Amino acid sequence: MITISALWTFTLIVGLLTLTPGLDTALILRTAALGRRRRAWGVVLGIQTGTLVWGVLTALGVTALLTASHLAYEIVRWAGAAYLVWMGGRMLWAARRKGGSGGTAEQEAAEAEAVGAGAPAGPDSGRDTLRGGWRQGTLTNLLNPKMGAFYVAVLPQFIPSGSSHLAAGVLLAGVHIVLAVIWACALIAFARALRGRLQRPSARRVLDRITGTVVAAFGFRLALGD
Protein backbone atom coordinates (compact mmCIF):
# COMPACT_ATOMS: atom_id res chain seq x y z
CA MET A 1 0.00 0.00 0.00
CA ILE A 2 1.32 3.47 -0.86
CA THR A 3 2.11 5.49 2.25
CA ILE A 4 0.68 8.98 2.81
CA SER A 5 4.20 10.41 2.84
CA ALA A 6 5.03 8.85 -0.55
CA LEU A 7 1.72 10.05 -1.96
CA TRP A 8 2.39 13.62 -0.86
CA THR A 9 5.90 13.52 -2.32
CA PHE A 10 4.57 12.28 -5.65
CA THR A 11 1.85 14.96 -5.57
CA LEU A 12 4.50 17.66 -5.07
CA ILE A 13 6.60 16.36 -7.98
CA VAL A 14 3.76 16.10 -10.50
CA GLY A 15 2.26 19.35 -9.18
CA LEU A 16 5.43 21.23 -10.06
CA LEU A 17 5.49 19.48 -13.43
CA THR A 18 1.89 20.51 -14.09
CA LEU A 19 2.53 24.16 -13.23
CA THR A 20 5.60 24.35 -15.50
CA PRO A 21 4.56 26.16 -18.72
CA GLY A 22 4.76 23.86 -21.70
CA LEU A 23 3.00 22.47 -24.71
CA ASP A 24 -0.15 21.42 -22.84
CA THR A 25 -0.54 24.91 -21.37
CA ALA A 26 -0.13 26.55 -24.78
CA LEU A 27 -2.72 24.31 -26.43
CA ILE A 28 -5.32 24.74 -23.69
CA LEU A 29 -4.89 28.51 -23.52
CA ARG A 30 -5.04 28.98 -27.28
CA THR A 31 -8.12 26.79 -27.75
CA ALA A 32 -10.02 28.33 -24.84
CA ALA A 33 -9.02 31.90 -25.75
CA LEU A 34 -10.56 31.46 -29.19
CA GLY A 35 -13.88 30.64 -27.55
CA ARG A 36 -13.91 26.94 -28.38
CA ARG A 37 -15.06 25.73 -24.97
CA ARG A 38 -15.95 22.16 -25.98
CA ARG A 39 -12.74 21.68 -27.92
CA ALA A 40 -10.69 23.11 -25.03
CA TRP A 41 -12.21 20.59 -22.63
CA GLY A 42 -11.64 17.91 -25.25
CA VAL A 43 -7.95 18.84 -25.30
CA VAL A 44 -7.86 18.60 -21.50
CA LEU A 45 -9.56 15.19 -21.50
CA GLY A 46 -7.27 13.97 -24.27
CA ILE A 47 -4.13 15.02 -22.42
CA GLN A 48 -5.36 13.26 -19.28
CA THR A 49 -6.26 10.17 -21.31
CA GLY A 50 -2.64 10.07 -22.44
CA THR A 51 -1.46 10.54 -18.86
CA LEU A 52 -3.59 7.61 -17.70
CA VAL A 53 -2.29 5.42 -20.53
CA TRP A 54 1.32 6.27 -19.65
CA GLY A 55 0.61 5.50 -15.99
CA VAL A 56 -0.96 2.11 -16.76
CA LEU A 57 1.77 1.15 -19.24
CA THR A 58 4.47 2.14 -16.78
CA ALA A 59 2.85 0.15 -13.96
CA LEU A 60 2.74 -2.88 -16.25
CA GLY A 61 6.37 -2.39 -17.26
CA VAL A 62 5.59 -1.69 -20.92
CA THR A 63 7.13 1.78 -21.05
CA ALA A 64 10.38 0.37 -19.67
CA LEU A 65 10.66 -1.44 -22.99
CA LEU A 66 10.21 1.88 -24.78
CA THR A 67 13.11 3.50 -22.95
CA ALA A 68 15.23 0.34 -23.18
CA SER A 69 14.70 -0.03 -26.93
CA HIS A 70 16.51 2.71 -28.82
CA LEU A 71 14.56 1.96 -32.01
CA ALA A 72 11.15 2.12 -30.31
CA TYR A 73 12.05 5.36 -28.55
CA GLU A 74 13.31 6.92 -31.78
CA ILE A 75 10.14 5.94 -33.67
CA VAL A 76 7.91 7.56 -31.05
CA ARG A 77 10.20 10.58 -30.83
CA TRP A 78 10.23 11.27 -34.55
CA ALA A 79 6.50 10.63 -34.89
CA GLY A 80 5.84 13.09 -32.07
CA ALA A 81 8.21 15.68 -33.51
CA ALA A 82 6.62 15.42 -36.96
CA TYR A 83 3.14 15.77 -35.49
CA LEU A 84 4.04 18.86 -33.46
CA VAL A 85 5.83 20.57 -36.35
CA TRP A 86 2.87 19.81 -38.62
CA MET A 87 0.37 21.16 -36.07
CA GLY A 88 2.42 24.30 -35.40
CA GLY A 89 2.96 24.82 -39.12
CA ARG A 90 -0.79 24.66 -39.75
CA MET A 91 -1.39 27.39 -37.18
CA LEU A 92 1.34 29.59 -38.67
CA TRP A 93 0.08 29.04 -42.21
CA ALA A 94 -3.50 29.84 -41.21
CA ALA A 95 -2.35 33.05 -39.49
CA ARG A 96 -0.31 34.06 -42.54
CA ARG A 97 -3.18 33.32 -44.93
CA LYS A 98 -5.60 35.38 -42.86
CA GLY A 99 -3.04 38.17 -42.61
CA GLY A 100 -2.65 38.25 -46.38
CA SER A 101 -6.36 38.36 -47.10
CA GLY A 102 -6.32 42.14 -47.06
CA GLY A 103 -9.54 42.51 -45.07
CA THR A 104 -10.66 46.02 -44.23
CA ALA A 105 -11.22 47.30 -40.73
CA GLU A 106 -14.97 47.17 -41.36
CA GLN A 107 -14.73 43.52 -42.39
CA GLU A 108 -12.70 42.70 -39.28
CA ALA A 109 -15.25 44.46 -37.10
CA ALA A 110 -18.09 42.55 -38.72
CA GLU A 111 -16.30 39.24 -38.24
CA ALA A 112 -15.52 40.09 -34.62
CA GLU A 113 -19.17 40.95 -34.03
CA ALA A 114 -20.24 37.64 -35.56
CA VAL A 115 -17.82 35.72 -33.34
CA GLY A 116 -19.05 37.59 -30.29
CA ALA A 117 -22.60 36.60 -31.18
CA GLY A 118 -21.58 32.96 -31.42
CA ALA A 119 -21.34 32.70 -35.21
CA PRO A 120 -18.44 30.74 -36.72
CA ALA A 121 -15.52 32.63 -38.18
CA GLY A 122 -12.24 31.62 -39.77
CA PRO A 123 -11.00 28.33 -41.20
CA ASP A 124 -11.31 26.54 -37.85
CA SER A 125 -14.93 27.58 -37.34
CA GLY A 126 -17.36 24.77 -36.75
CA ARG A 127 -14.60 22.66 -35.21
CA ASP A 128 -15.56 23.33 -31.62
CA THR A 129 -16.03 19.65 -30.90
CA LEU A 130 -15.14 17.65 -27.82
CA ARG A 131 -14.01 14.73 -29.97
CA GLY A 132 -11.65 16.83 -32.08
CA GLY A 133 -10.04 18.35 -28.99
CA TRP A 134 -9.77 14.94 -27.32
CA ARG A 135 -8.01 13.49 -30.36
CA GLN A 136 -5.55 16.40 -30.48
CA GLY A 137 -4.79 16.22 -26.76
CA THR A 138 -4.38 12.44 -26.77
CA LEU A 139 -2.02 12.41 -29.75
CA THR A 140 0.03 15.28 -28.35
CA ASN A 141 0.52 13.44 -25.06
CA LEU A 142 1.07 9.89 -26.35
CA LEU A 143 3.53 10.97 -29.04
CA ASN A 144 5.77 12.58 -26.43
CA PRO A 145 8.27 9.88 -25.36
CA LYS A 146 9.62 12.19 -22.68
CA MET A 147 6.33 11.75 -20.85
CA GLY A 148 6.90 8.00 -20.87
CA ALA A 149 10.52 8.47 -19.79
CA PHE A 150 9.40 10.66 -16.88
CA TYR A 151 6.92 8.05 -15.70
CA VAL A 152 9.48 5.26 -16.02
CA ALA A 153 11.95 7.26 -13.91
CA VAL A 154 9.49 8.43 -11.24
CA LEU A 155 6.51 6.08 -10.92
CA PRO A 156 8.30 2.84 -9.87
CA GLN A 157 9.88 4.65 -6.93
CA PHE A 158 6.42 5.14 -5.40
CA ILE A 159 5.04 1.65 -6.03
CA PRO A 160 5.79 -0.49 -2.95
CA SER A 161 6.91 -4.07 -3.47
CA GLY A 162 4.24 -6.67 -2.94
CA SER A 163 1.40 -4.36 -3.92
CA SER A 164 -0.63 -4.41 -7.12
CA HIS A 165 1.43 -2.46 -9.63
CA LEU A 166 -1.59 -1.75 -11.80
CA ALA A 167 -3.70 -0.40 -8.93
CA ALA A 168 -0.82 1.71 -7.61
CA GLY A 169 -0.05 3.03 -11.09
CA VAL A 170 -3.66 4.01 -11.70
CA LEU A 171 -3.81 5.72 -8.29
CA LEU A 172 -0.66 7.76 -8.90
CA ALA A 173 -1.69 8.66 -12.44
CA GLY A 174 -5.07 9.66 -11.01
CA VAL A 175 -3.37 12.10 -8.66
CA HIS A 176 -1.53 13.62 -11.61
CA ILE A 177 -4.77 13.85 -13.59
CA VAL A 178 -6.68 15.57 -10.78
CA LEU A 179 -3.97 18.22 -10.39
CA ALA A 180 -3.80 18.74 -14.16
CA VAL A 181 -7.57 19.15 -14.45
CA ILE A 182 -7.62 21.71 -11.62
CA TRP A 183 -4.85 23.65 -13.36
CA ALA A 184 -6.71 23.37 -16.69
CA CYS A 185 -9.81 24.88 -15.06
CA ALA A 186 -7.72 27.88 -14.02
CA LEU A 187 -6.21 28.21 -17.51
CA ILE A 188 -9.60 28.04 -19.23
CA ALA A 189 -11.09 30.60 -16.83
CA PHE A 190 -8.13 32.91 -17.48
CA ALA A 191 -8.45 32.47 -21.24
CA ARG A 192 -12.18 33.20 -21.16
CA ALA A 193 -11.50 36.38 -19.20
CA LEU A 194 -9.24 37.50 -22.05
CA ARG A 195 -11.61 36.41 -24.79
CA GLY A 196 -13.01 39.91 -25.25
CA ARG A 197 -9.56 41.13 -26.25
CA LEU A 198 -9.24 38.36 -28.84
CA GLN A 199 -12.42 38.98 -30.81
CA ARG A 200 -10.69 40.90 -33.56
CA PRO A 201 -9.22 38.68 -36.29
CA SER A 202 -5.91 40.54 -36.00
CA ALA A 203 -5.61 39.47 -32.35
CA ARG A 204 -6.53 35.90 -33.27
CA ARG A 205 -3.78 35.88 -35.91
CA VAL A 206 -1.23 37.00 -33.32
CA LEU A 207 -2.39 34.23 -30.99
CA ASP A 208 -2.07 31.65 -33.76
CA ARG A 209 1.43 32.89 -34.59
CA ILE A 210 2.55 32.67 -30.96
CA THR A 211 1.01 29.26 -30.32
CA GLY A 212 2.12 27.87 -33.68
CA THR A 213 5.68 28.98 -33.00
CA VAL A 214 5.63 27.41 -29.51
CA VAL A 215 4.20 24.10 -30.78
CA ALA A 216 6.61 23.89 -33.72
CA ALA A 217 9.53 24.77 -31.43
CA PHE A 218 8.58 21.89 -29.14
CA GLY A 219 8.54 19.64 -32.19
CA PHE A 220 12.02 20.71 -33.31
CA ARG A 221 13.31 20.40 -29.76
CA LEU A 222 11.94 16.86 -29.55
CA ALA A 223 13.51 16.02 -32.92
CA LEU A 224 16.88 17.33 -31.78
CA GLY A 225 16.60 15.27 -28.60
CA ASP A 226 17.09 18.19 -26.21
Quote the mean pLDDT of the chain: 80
pTM of the model: 0.76
* Domain count within the chain: 1
Domain membership flag for residue 133: no
pLDDT, residue 78, reads 85
Domain that holds residue 168: 4-78+146-200
Domain membership flag for residue 167: yes
Domain membership flag for residue 11: yes
Contacts of 111 (CB under 8 A, 6+ apart): 103, 121, 122, 201
For the segment 171-184, the average pLDDT, to the nearest whole number, is 95
pLDDT band of 117, cuts 50, 70, 90: very low
Contacts of 51 (CB under 8 A, 6+ apart): 141, 147, 173, 176, 177, 180
Q: What tens digit of pLDDT does each residue of 4-19 get?
A: 888 999 999 999 989 8
Domain membership flag for residue 99: no
pLDDT, residue 122, reads 41
Domain membership flag for residue 91: no
Q: What tens digit of pLDDT does each residue of 130-169 get?
A: 999 999 999 999 988 888 888 888 888 888 877 788 898 8
For the segment 75-82, the average pLDDT, to the nearest whole number, is 82
* Interatomic CA distance for residues 95 and 124, integer angstroms: 11
For the segment 95-103, the average pLDDT, to the nearest whole number, is 62
State what percent of residues in the chain have pLDDT above 70.
82
Domain membership flag for residue 172: yes
